[in-house]
Amino acid sequence: MTLATTITIIAIAFIISALLALPLIPMLRRLKFGQSIREEGPQAHQKKAGTPTMGGIIFIISIVVSAIAFGWMNGLLTTQTVVLLLVLAGFGLIGFLDDFIKVVLKRNLGLTSLQKLIGQIVIAVISYLLLRLGPFETTVGLPFTSFEIDLGPFYVLFLIFWLVGFSNAVNLTDGLDGLVAGTSSIAFAAFGVLGLVYGQEDLSLVAFSVTGALLGFLLFNANPAKIFMGDTGSLALGGVLAMLSVLMKQELLLLLVGIVFVIETLSVILQVISFKTTGKRIFKMSPIHHHFELSGWSEWKVVIVFWTAALAAALIAVLPEVI
């Protein structure tokens, strides 16, 4: 894949997202598909109530169209690209149902945690079975070393944990304007570059399609956001990001590339453990981006700092493979 092709993929996905957003945002406003803001969240967020949500539809469509079109033209439509798009659409559907129930049917809880978990597990297992139709390594390696462990038949359990874990991690991170769109675009760009280094152009195709689509969406999602991605977008992004790491056999490297998602999730886990065992909170509010907000940081400052951390982690992960 040439540099020109890479730029073209990103540009086309960017344009599709931007063009889709223009009519969709006012349509969602007319339909009153607005986000409800939790009362226990930062009070500054209450002004965001009514902002259109379910915007993940925009970049999911852009990714699918871009990946299929360029994949067909360049002979890169493989089992792996199909699996990635399956995870994207499947996890996106779970998020869409959750958003639809909350926003349209006015049931605040949406899908139950168990319902979402069952859906995520089903998609993960289907993906695993599709991959097992051909040669598929069940090893998990330690980044920057030759050390690896073969999980054998237990790899499916790891796959389920990985996809469910990261889809929920990205979902937890989606609390500030542009935070997930920015950090995710960086993470996918990093895996896109790694795919080129490893000769896995079919995976790079999808990764760069996601990067471009998210940057186009970010035009309308940056502060002050005109639209939110909702669970439709965040669950889809987390699932496909985890699957990318699996297909590149760089599963554990995702802990570095997706460091922001990992820290956000750990902040929630630590907060719950601390409160249940000691009755005290470690952070003013979790996930940790809210802690910084309540500590006096502007929303934009939190987002920029987290974007910078994501970029630094991506460079640390990618540069050793490129140099």
Q: For every one of its 323 residues, what pLDDT tens digit does the chain have, with 9 covering 90 and above?
A: 888 999 999 999 999 999 999 999 999 988 878 776 665 566 666 677 779 999 999 999 999 999 999 999 999 999 999 999 999 999 999 999 999 998 888 776 789 999 999 999 999 999 999 999 988 999 999 999 999 999 999 999 999 999 999 999 999 999 999 999 999 999 999 999 999 999 999 999 999 999 999 999 999 999 999 999 999 999 999 999 999 999 999 999 999 999 999 999 999 999 999 999 999 999 999 999 999 999 999 999 999 999 999 999 999 999 998 88
User: Does any domain span residue 239?
Assistant: yes
User: Does any domain span residue 121?
Assistant: yes
Question: Which residues carry a binding-site annotation?
Answer: 171, 231
Q: How many folded domains does the chain comprise?
A: 1
User: Does any domain span residue 129?
Assistant: yes
pLDDT at res. 105: 82
pLDDT tens by residue, 168-225: 999 999 999 999 999 999 999 999 999 999 999 999 999 999 999 999 999 999 999 9
Question: Which residues carry a binding-site annotation for Mg(2+)?
Answer: 171, 231
Q: For residue 15, give its domain range.
A: 3-253
User: Does any domain span residue 297?
Assistant: no
Please name the residue that has the structure tokens 């469509």. Answer: 61
pLDDT at res. 42: 67
Q: Which pair of tokens denotes residue 64?
A: 């699918």
Nearest to 167 by CA among 225, 224, 234: 234
* CA–CA separation, 295 and 291 (whole Å): 6
User: Does any domain span residue 216?
Assistant: yes
User: Does any domain span residue 286?
Assistant: no
pLDDT at res. 252: 97
pLDDT at res. 176: 95
Distance set, CA 257 to CA 7, 18, 213, 277, 307 (Å) = 21, 26, 19, 32, 12
* CA–CA separation, 29 and 92 (whole Å): 21
Q: Half-sphere exposure of residue 217, counting CA atoms within 13 Å on the CB side?
A: 33
User: Does any domain span residue 315?
Assistant: no
pLDDT tens by residue, 280-307: 999 999 999 999 999 999 999 999 999 9
Nearest to 37 by CA among 50, 56, 25: 50
User: Does any domain span residue 35?
Assistant: yes
pLDDT at res. 43: 61
pLDDT at res. 138: 96
* CA–CA separation, 114 and 56 (whole Å): 22
Q: Which pair of tokens denotes residue 205?
A: 């195709």
- Taken in order 198, 199, 205, 211, the sign of the CA dihedral is positive
Distance set, CA 81 to CA 71, 72, 151, 315, 322 (Å) = 8, 11, 24, 25, 23
* CA–CA separation, 73 and 302 (whole Å): 41
pTM of this prediction?
A: 0.95
Q: Which amino acid is at 153?
A: P
